[in-house]
Amino acid sequence: MASIMIMVLAVIYPFIPVVEPSGDLLKLECEPAVGIAAHTTVITCHFRGYKDVKVDAVSLRKVGQNEPTFRHRIAKQQKLGDPRFSLENPAEGPSLKINDTMFSDTGVFDYEIVTNRGRASAKFTLSVTAKYKDPIVSTWPQDVTEGGPIDLYCNATEGYPTGTIHWFDRYGTNWTINSILTKTTKDTDSSKSVALSSKLTFNSIDLSLAPFRCIVLNSKYIKDGEKTIQITPAKQDAEDMAESKSNNTNIIAGVMVIGSLIAGLLFALFFFRRGKEQRYESGQPA
């Protein structure tokens, strides 16, 4: 019986189709994106499992919403939904692009694609930030007396999320620990911003530390802006500083003149002594 079964299997085995593993299925992967309000944002996506994948249609929907945010049928050139959304380059891959990014775009998205290799889907998150405007600086009082009190102010607006302001003197010393930072937040679905206001107080200012720099940093401690504060000394201090500068100049000039005279005398003495030695060596009377 066993021999008969072996003979039967030997006859039909060549006709049994061989099933090979199909490998990885088509997978779509998208990176989390951080956009800047009013700028263009790119959501980077790519396929895994196959090469030479051709995108036929895409559909993007924000989690929590029923209607798609964006749809695109490539062959029929049909686009539906928010016109700010598009494929960055359909011929190169599934990456998306958003023009004029808004704070309302923040959220999690479901992304579905139909290709010549089948269907694929992925989720990605989008967060939106805003760059701080150039800071505005001022001082009080405007004319400062050496050793007198002064407040330095630095204001930056329209940034998001919350950043901070740092202070530095002309030598690079960080004075931020002595400052007071105030934050005012505006948060709606369509607009988010934080206004920063920093005050650095000196009860007795050393004018040689000026000028001071106010540096605005975003939420990731990356510089968004910088402004230098020039401190104007009071009239008497300005005159004293000018007089001190003049005195220093006169002193330096005097030192240079005296130095030149001494150098001249030394040269004269050297040549006189040299001549005397030569006459002595030649037997002439000194």
- Rounded to 5 degrees, φ, ψ at 76 are -90, -5
Residue 250: both structure tokens together: 């006169």
User: According to the model, what pLDDT value does residue 41 have?
Assistant: 98
Three-state DSSP class for 140? strand
Say which residue, 80 or 258, is predicted with more confidence: 80
Query: Residue 210 has what DSSP assignment?
Result: P
Three-state DSSP class for 255? helix
- Rounded to 5 degrees, φ, ψ at 254 are -60, -45
Distance CA 34, CA 285 (A): 97
User: According to the model, what pLDDT value does residue 76 have?
Assistant: 87
Residue 123: both structure tokens together: 């989720």
Distance CA 196, CA 198 (A): 7
| Residue ranges of E strands in 6-163 | 27-30, 33-36, 41-43, 45-48, 55-62, 70-73, 78-81, 85-87, 96-98, 107-115, 118-129, 136-140, 143-144, 150-159
CB 87 within 8 A of CB 45: no
Q: What domains lie within the chain, and their CATH numbers? A: 23-129 (2.60.40.10), 136-235 (2.60.40.10)
CB 105 within 8 A of CB 126: yes
Residue 45: both structure tokens together: 């996506």
Q: Is the pLDDT of residue 149 over 50?
A: yes
User: According to the model, what pLDDT value does residue 120 have?
Assistant: 96
CB 161 within 8 A of CB 196: no
Average pLDDT, integer, range 112-118:
95
Q: What is the chain's mean pLDDT, rounded?
A: 83
With helix as H, strand as E and coil as C, how does 16-31 read?
CCCCCCCCCCCEEEEC
Q: Which range (117-121, 124-128, 252-256) has the least confidence?
A: 252-256
57-71 b/e with 16+ CB inside 10 Å = b?
Answer: bbbbbbeeeeebbbb
